[in-house]
Structures are given as structure tokens and as C-alpha cells.
């Protein structure tokens, strides 16, 4: 299976990074964001996007997933949020709506490296195209809102849950994906198997309570 994931995405990457000449977006750009549960630190090596016109956007996102680490073990990493968090987001400029999102990330609380391809179905893209009249409580105004962001929650064990949402819009859960372990380890084997250290707060939580794998089933 992992070989299939690699081969599938290499085919896309061989086409290079080009920009779409036309777009089905009803807005300028959509946003890709990642989050992780409290203390369960995640480093995203790369998130590459293939849009519906088969244009490839390498490293559309990378870096630290949005996460909280309250002091004194007062946070709660267990379970999935009721409202899908957008996470730390980045606009995917020049892209049409996504067909695939390829993600390679390090789950530092374990530690483990994961690899997956998220297939975005047409039903999800329709949700992203559809405008709705919504009331924004923060400014007391009605707007035409769009679910112009994809939020991906990454948890230990290699599970990802995906929502689409937008300003003043209720997020909608669209899929859950189980990733494959990348046997090459972090940075495609270029770091001799070494992972970055957890922050003091995350390390203290994991050493005391462990990683709550059962809460994300």
C-alpha cells in the first residue's frame, strides 16, 4: 500500500508545479490548515496538493500543526473536537479546488512518521463552492459565506480527520483517513532516525499520562 501511495504521487509530481489558467473557485483562494490535540505535537514535513486541473502545488503547507500545551497538564488531548478546527492555515494561491492532498508528517509524541493521500470527492468540492447566507455574531452582519478552508486534524496512530469550514460557517466533517507508517522515518531517512524533542509541557504530559490512542478510534 505504501508503495502505491509513493508511486501515485510521484506521477503527479513529475508534471511539476504549474498554475491553473482558469478556476472554478467562487473566491480568490482556499486555505489548508492543520491541527493536533493538546500536547500531541506534529511536524508536517510537507503537504502537497493536486487540484482538479491536475496542477501540482508542492509544499502547499509545512511546519508545526496548530496545538495547545497548557501548563500543569491542565489540557485534554483525548477525543475529536465537536467543531472541526481550521488549525494554522495557509492559502493555496493559484490552485483550483483540490483533488488530492498528500501529507507526510511526524507524530512527535510517539514518535512516528506517517504518509497518506487524502482523496477529496466531488461532494466535498460542492460544499466548498456553495455560498450560504449566514449571520456573523462577531460583527452582527449577514454575509454570503463559503466553506473555503480545509482543516485536517492529525493524531497519534496515523489518523487524520478532515473538515471544511469558513468564516461564520459551521464546519462539516467530510472524511477520516488512516495513514501508513513511512519506514524511512523522519525526513525520508535523512536524519538517521532522529526526531525533534517534545516541548517541556508536552513531554511532561506524555510521561505522566501516555498517548491516549483509544480516544481517537
Q: pLDDT value at position 1?
A: 53
pTM, entire model: 0.89
Q: pLDDT value at position 86?
A: 65
- pLDDT tens digit at each of 217 positions of the chain: 555 455 454 444 444 444 434 578 999 999 999 999 999 999 999 999 999 999 999 999 999 999 999 999 999 999 999 888 766 689 999 999 999 999 999 999 999 999 999 999 999 999 999 999 999 988 899 999 999 999 999 999 999 999 999 989 999 999 999 999 999 999 999 999 999 999 999 999 999 999 999 999 8
Give the contacts of 38 (CB within 8 A, at least 6 positions apart). Answer: 67, 68, 69, 70, 75, 76, 77, 205
Q: Is the peptide bond before 167 cis (omega within 30 degrees of 0)?
A: no
Report whether 165 contacts 172 (CB < 8 A).
yes
Q: Mind giving me the DSSP string for 14-47?
A: TT-----SS---SSS--EEEEE--TT--EEEEEE
Q: pLDDT value at position 19?
A: 43
* The C-alpha cell that represents 25 in the structure block: 473557485
Amino acid at each position: 500500500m505504501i508503495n502505491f501511495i509513493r508511486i501515485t504521487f510521484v506521477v503527479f509530481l513529475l508534471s511539476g508545479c504549474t498554475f491553473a489558467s482558469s478556476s472554478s473557485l467562487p473566491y480568490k483562494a482556499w486555505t489548508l490548515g492543520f491541527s493536533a490535540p493538546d500536547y500531541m505535537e506534529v511536524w508536517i514535513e510537507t503537504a502537497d496538493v493536486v487540484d482538479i486541473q491536475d496542477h501540482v502545488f508542492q509544499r502547499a503547507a509545512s511546519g508545526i500543526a496548530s496545538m495547545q500545551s497548557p501548563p500543569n497538564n491542565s489540557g485534554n488531548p483525548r477525543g475529536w473536537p465537536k467543531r472541526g478546527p481550521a488549525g494554522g492555515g495557509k492559502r493555496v494561491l493559484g490552485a483550483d479546488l483540490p483533488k488530492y492532498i498528500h501529507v507526510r508528517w511526524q507524530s512527535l509524541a510517539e514518535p512516528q512518521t506517517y504518509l497518506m493521500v487524502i482523496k477529496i470527492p466531488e461532494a466535498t468540492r460542492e460544499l466548498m463552492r456553495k455560498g450560504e447566507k449566514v449571520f456573523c455574531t462577531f460583527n452582527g452582519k449577514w454575509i454570503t459565506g463559503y466553506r473555503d478552508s480545509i482543516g485536517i486534524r492529525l493524531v497519534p496512530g496515523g489518523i487524520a480527520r478532515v473538515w471544511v469550514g469558513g468564516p461564520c460557517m459551521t464546519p462539516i466533517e467530510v472524511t477520516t483517513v488512516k495513514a501508513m507508517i513511512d519506514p524511512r522515518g523522519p525526513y525520508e531517512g535523512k536524519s538517521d532516525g532522529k526526531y525533534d524533542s517534545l516541548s517541556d509541557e508536552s513531554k511532561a504530559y506524555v510521561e505522566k499520562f501516555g498517548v491516549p490512542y483509544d480516544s481517537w478510534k
